[in-house]
Amino acid sequence: MKLIEHQTITSKDVGQNTLEIAQYEICTFKNIDFQGTSFSKVTFVECEFIDCDLSMVSLIGTMLQEVKFTRCKMLGLFFETVKSFLFRVSFDQCNLESASFAGVNMEKTNFNACKMVGVDFTQTNLSAAILNGCSLQNANFNRTILFKTDLRTAQYFSIDTKENKVNKAIVSPDNLEGFLRNAGLDIRN
């Protein structure tokens, strides 16, 4: 596999919005519309995507090792199809609507100010993850591990404490209602 290192790649460097199957190390991808293309069998190590549209990109067999996404549009991505070996990502101000992390180990992952409406966290390990200022409206938490997960500034979530492992999850008094909605309580002011 071809190795591409220490490059800044922009839309003018990418023909037909496709990416060469290669191993990219310490590369930055800026302002590229990859919508609907395939990253299958591509490896990214210590790379960053900035202001890219990655919506509906195929991630089958993709390796993401220490990859950061900043202000990216990432609608409908299936992260459960990436290679799990050394998988490590972070998200800053990304739109992850309808993305799926089902069954993925997202331990210690940082999500900062992300729009995560309708995200699927079924059987996801979110232990010690930080969901700082994230909108989690209609996010699916089912058999999710939330051990020491920081939800203090997360918004609009609903997590059933009987169906998920929430031991030592960190919440604030302002968003505690997200855990109580499914507790059969009648919460009033």
CATH number at residue 170: 2.160.20.80
Is 55 within the bounds of a domain?
Answer: yes
Which of 115, 108, 109, 161 is closest to 136 using CA atoms?
Answer: 115
Domain span at 52: 1-73+88-93
Q: Is residue 79 part of a domain?
A: no
Report the pLDDT value the prediction gives residue 185, as an integer from 0 to 100.
55
Q: Show Cβ contacts of residue 167 under 8 Å, excluding neighbours closer than 6 positions.
A: 146, 147
Report how many domains make up the chain. Answer: 2
- The answer to whether position 132 is within a domain reads yes
Same-domain status, 66 and 106: no
Together in a domain, 108 and 154: yes
Residues 6 or more apart whose Cβ sits within 8 Å of residue 174: none
Question: Is 83 part of any domain?
Answer: no
Q: What is the pLDDT of residue 178?
A: 74
Asked whether residue 104 falls in the same domain as residue 176, the answer is: yes
pLDDT classification of 1: cutoffs 50, 70, 90: confident
| 123 and 37, same domain (yes or no) | no
pLDDT band at 13 (very low <50, low <70, confident <90, very high): confident
In a domain? residue 52: yes
**How many whole angstroms separate alpha carbon 3 and alpha carbon 142?**
39
Burial 16-39 (b: 16+ CB within 10 A, else e): eeebeeeebbebbbeebebeebbb
In this structure, how many other beta carbons lie within 10 angstroms of the beta carbon of residue 106?
Answer: 22
